[in-house]
């Protein structure tokens, strides 16, 4: 039986149509910012908390739009699946994401640049196709 890890993640786009990806310390795959939903916590609460802890971003819950629930193999936990509540969060001019806590690297990339990186399955299989669709509209 596969272990399911419940997470909340953000699809963050800036004014240059770039996507924010992060890489955790000691890992190689880039992924969406966010993290595990703690016991008794709602996914949106977890997302707001994680964005603040990991990137120093202050996000109001009303600034996050629920996109959907998606599942994919976990990038850093072999044999596990992530069940992700994905939210689109608009970056405001002047907002800066600064890697903190377990985040080693935070990068803004175009979709083409993202394709060349080692990506978590959720990012490659779900998020990039969503971003391509969003940016084509």
Q: How high is the pLDDT of residue 2?
A: 82
pLDDT exceeds cutoff 80 at 1: no
Helices vs strands, H then E, count in the chain? 4, 6
Q: What is the pLDDT of residues 97-118, one digit of tens each?
A: 899 889 999 999 999 999 999 9
Tokens of 1: 């039986």
Arithmetic mean of pLDDT over the chain: 94
Q: How high is the pLDDT of residue 4?
A: 95
Q: What is the pLDDT of residues 8-20, one digit of tens each?
A: 999 999 888 899 9
* Mean pLDDT (whole number) for 47-70: 96
Contact 106, 98 (CB under 8 A): yes
CATH class of 3-136: alpha beta
pTM of the model: 0.93
CA dihedral 98, 104, 110, 115 (to 10 degrees): -170
Choice among 6-10, 41-45, 88-92, 100-104 with the minimum mean pLDDT:
88-92
* Mean pLDDT (whole number) for 33-61: 96
Contact 44, 34 (CB under 8 A): no
């Amino acid at each position: 039986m596969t272990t399911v890890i419940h997470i909340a993640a953000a699809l963050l786009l800036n004014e240059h149509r770039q996507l924010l990806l992060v890489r955790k310390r000691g890992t190689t795959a880039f992924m969406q910012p966010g993290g595990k939903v703690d016991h008794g916590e709602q996914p949106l609460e977890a997302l707001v908390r994680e964005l603040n802890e990991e990137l120093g971003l202050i996000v109001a819950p009303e600034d996050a739009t629920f996109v959907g629930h998606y599942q994919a193999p976990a990038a850093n936990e072999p044999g596990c699946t992530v069940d992700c509540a994905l939210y689109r969060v608009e970056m405001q001019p002047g907002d800066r994401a600064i890697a903190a806590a377990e985040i080693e690297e935070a990068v803004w990339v175009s979709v083409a640049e993202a394709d060349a990186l080692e990506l978590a399955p959720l990012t490659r299989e779900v998020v990039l196709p969503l971003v391509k669709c969003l940016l084509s509209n």
